[in-house]
Amino acid sequence: MFTLAHMSDLHIGPLPAPRRLELVNKRLFGYINWHKSRKGIHCRPTLDRLALDLQQENPDHIAITGDLVNLGMNEEYIQAQKWLEKLGSGDLVSVVPGNHDVYVPLLKKRGIGHWNAFMTNDGAKSHIHKSTRTGFPYVRRRGDVAIIGLSSAIPTMPLVAAGRLGANQRKKLLDILLALGEEKLFRVVLIHHPPMSLAGNWVRGLRDAQELRRVFLQAGAELILHGHDHTHKIRAMKGPAGRIPVVGIPSASVSNHPHKPLARYNLYHIERRPEGWNCQMTGRGLEGASCDVQTLCQLDLSAYVQNNSSFALKWKNTSCRDNQTVD
């Protein structure tokens, strides 16, 4: 049995005091937005409490799907690096960047380069990513499980949070998925933006989602994990031999929001059985006014996705215990 933990959209605070020059670009909009609303939503003690609970579960690996920082200031990357190092080693933790992690174009050695230890291929020497996409996809093998990290993060204009993989990354992904499929590994793909983005969602969506879905249709995968929407969603994508579960997760630091779910993380218990893969999902997080991290749901993920007649599935509510709705 292999246990994979997933958390996303940490939006680590508190926000360091910006230097004046750091606000002469898109960051100014983000800075105003942070103080108007986000500061009261993303809570560092909540994130730390969730991380402590996750560590006590002793997972075999931890996946983090982006938006670790808020405005892409140098101090934030260093703060996030320290947080990651406290969570676990680069071998234990895999990170992919989100749109907030590539908020503005940055010189190499800055930005997400601080997190290289958490974003390299197995055995690769640590190196600075020269751009947001260099070094992606990366592959990490852990027993029967292969973790494939993608970068959908691109710098965009103010008020735009879209992502894109690009043809080069998609081609590499196709080759990797086909090769790992030949080896009969459980392939987990990490991406920040939801691969189910609708065409035309130019402002917040994954701009080449349609092309990415064609890659999965051809090569398959066993599980796709994403963040970005700050909601809990389970959906299914067509693969060559059935449906692929696609799971989105709320932000790991939300302690107060009028209509978004509170902080949570998911655990995936993955086991190879004679009849095929078994994947049990457990959600843990905050619910209601309680400050305790508790189990929110338990689900046979593969069976749920394969047996439901609808192509798109989603839980709209905070907890899996609440009503399930089918789109």
- Which residues here bind Fe ion, judged by CB under 5 A? 9, 67, 98-99, 228
* Token couple for 287: 């619910």
* Token couple for 311: 């192509």
Residue closer to Fe ion by CB (options 61, 228) is 228
Residue type, 261: P
Residue closer to Fe ion by CB (options 192, 243) is 192
Residue closer to Fe ion by CB (options 99, 156) is 99
The minimum distance between CB 94 and Fe ion, in angstroms, equals 17
Residue closer to Fe ion by CB (options 220, 261) is 261
* Token couple for 138: 């990366």
Round to whole Å and give the CA distance between 138 and 127: 13
Round to whole Å and give the CA distance between 44 and 253: 6
Residue closer to Fe ion by CB (options 172, 228) is 228
In 3D space, the residue among 105, 96, 58, 78 whose CA is nearest the CA of residue 16 turns out to be 78
Residue closer to Fe ion by CB (options 3, 132) is 132
Residue 38 sits at φ, ψ, to 5 deg, of -60, -30
Round to whole Å and give the CA distance between 39 and 82: 21
Q: Which residues pair with 61 in a beta bridge?
A: 4
The minimum distance between CB 228 and Fe ion, in angstroms, equals 4
Contact 232, 191 (CB under 8 A): no
The minimum distance between CB 220 and Fe ion, in angstroms, equals 26
Residue 256 sits at φ, ψ, to 5 deg, of -160, 110
* E strands, 9-99, in order: 61-65, 93-96
The minimum distance between CB 181 and Fe ion, in angstroms, equals 29
Round to whole Å and give the CA distance between 88 and 5: 12
The minimum distance between CB 296 and Fe ion, in angstroms, equals 20
The minimum distance between CB 155 and Fe ion, in angstroms, equals 13
In 3D space, the residue among 225, 231, 239, 209 whose CA is nearest the CA of residue 301 turns out to be 225
Residue closer to Fe ion by CB (options 99, 197) is 99
Residue closer to Fe ion by CB (options 129, 193) is 193
Q: Nearest 5°: CA angle at 301, between 298 and 307?
A: 120
The minimum distance between CB 106 and Fe ion, in angstroms, equals 17
Q: Is 213 helix (H, G, I), strand (E, B) or coil?
A: helix
The minimum distance between CB 182 and Fe ion, in angstroms, equals 33
